[in-house]
Structure 1
Amino acid sequence: MSIISIPEFDHLPPEAKSRYQDQVEKHGRITNMKRTLLHAPTAFDALMSWYPLFDELKALVGERAALFYAYAISTQNECLICSTFFVKILKDQNISFDEFAFSTQEKLLIDYGREIVSNPHKIDETILSQLQKQFDESGIVLLTAFAGLMIATNLINTALNVPLDEYLFEYSQKA
């Protein structure tokens, strides 16, 4: 059970209502996590910077690699909502993460994403070396900043026990 209420539109302050409406217009719905964040509109704004960062990540590595990277971070972090969200996207594209033949770059991103979650104080030197061969410094900073924001999103969902959105139930083994 969530420790923070999931506010309905009518119970939001005016500055949160405009953000709510914007999400529905852009995405057709507003998720439980985003509704939870609307309790603190500045926090909502901070975490919504995920979208432009993800767009830059896709421009750097391609959409499929970006999705694999985000999924690897979310599963390593054991975030039910985020990992299920990416399972849905991958299944909608007929991709089975567990059976997929990853490119060298995709495998590197998966390894880096998992390593950032599990061992951020001492990233494996082999991974760092490979990153430096494939990306310039701005690319590595982008990858790392995206991971940080993905982890922050995972944290909100997990720490506040935000409930899984109904549209994701069929994609979750835990729903």
Structure 2
Amino acid sequence: MPRISPLPYNEATPDVQVAFDAHVTDYPGSRITNMKATLGRSLLSFQVYMQWYPLYEQVKAILGDRLAYLYAHAISEGSNCPLCTTFFRRIIIDNGERPEDLQLTDHEQAVIDFGSAIALHKGEVSDAVYAPISERYTDAEIVVLVAFAGQMIATNVFNNVLDVKIDEYLYPYLPLTQPQTNP
């Protein structure tokens, strides 16, 4: 059960309804998910978190579409966020790959390791993990990649803290087995 339930559209203030409508219009194919509807309880929070979209577009311009969603998946998995990990699993699967059996170049692996390390180690990235990134990308590109990782982690934290439920449209993309936790 979520700690804060998603705000139904018909209960949202007119300003929030306008923001929801603008988001769906501005980003074709997007929807007001459980996370976004929960964010809708604070218009400013919704607006801030939706800046993820233009930042992700910059990441795609730097990395290309495939590596951008693999990078986001690695960050979400490193943050142990079931909702965001499943969201990116969907993109991976819908693009014809299996998340458990990705075929990666050394460079792609380095980018994924970078994203994962940022999430797993709370930003403490070793020189060995950072070096391949700094050798390939400009300072401005690295700033975008790190800022996006921070935004992705913020999204992961939001979903985890509030126990935002995975949207039904993502159910077919859940892993067949779930990690076991100790009681």
Question: 1:147 maps to what in 2?
Answer: 149
State the 1:121 CA deviation: 5.0
Give per-residue Cα distances to partners, 1:11-34, cap 9 Å, x unaligned.
111110111222343335310000
Matches within 5 A, 1:113-152: 113-152=115-154
**Percent identity of equivalent pairs:** 35
Distance 2:21 2:124 in 1: 42
TM-score where L is the length of structure 1 = 0.94
The one-letter amino acid paired with 1:14 is P
Distance 1:17 1:82 in 2: 24
The one-letter amino acid paired with 2:172 is E
Where has structure 1 moved over 2 Å in runs of 4 or more? 22-29
Higher helix share: 1
Distance 2:60 2:141 in 1: 11
Matches within 5 A, 1:12-31: 12-25=12-25, 26-27=28-29, 29-31=31-33
Contact 2:117/2:123 (8 A) holds in 1:
no
State the 1:56 CA deviation: 0.5
Distance 1:23 1:82 in 2: 18
Query: Which of 50, 58, 70 in structure 2 is aligned with 1:68?
Result: 70
SS of the residue corresponding to residue 164 of structure 2 reads: coil
Question: 2:59 maps to what in 1?
Answer: 57
State the 1:97 CA deviation: 2.4
The one-letter amino acid paired with 2:65 is E
Distance 2:80 2:153 in 1: 10
TM-score where L is the length of structure 2 = 0.90
The one-letter amino acid paired with 2:115 is G
Distance 1:24 1:153 in 2: 18
Unaligned runs of 5+ in 2: 179-183
**Cα–Cα, structure 1 residues 30 and 122, in superposed 2: closer, same or farther, change >3 Å?**
closer
Aligned residues: 174
- Asked whether 1:93 is paired with 2:89, we answer no
- Asked whether 1:11 is paired with 2:11, we answer yes
Range with bigger deviation, 95-104 or 79-88: 95-104
Question: 2:169 maps to what in 1?
Answer: 167
**Cα–Cα, structure 1 residues 126 and 39, in superposed 2: closer, same or farther, change >3 Å?**
same
Contact 2:69/2:88 (8 A) holds in 1:
yes
Unaligned runs of 5+ in 1: none
- Asked whether 1:35 is paired with 2:37, we answer yes
The one-letter amino acid paired with 2:89 is V
Contact 2:74/2:112 (8 A) holds in 1:
yes
Distance 1:132 1:28 in 2: 33
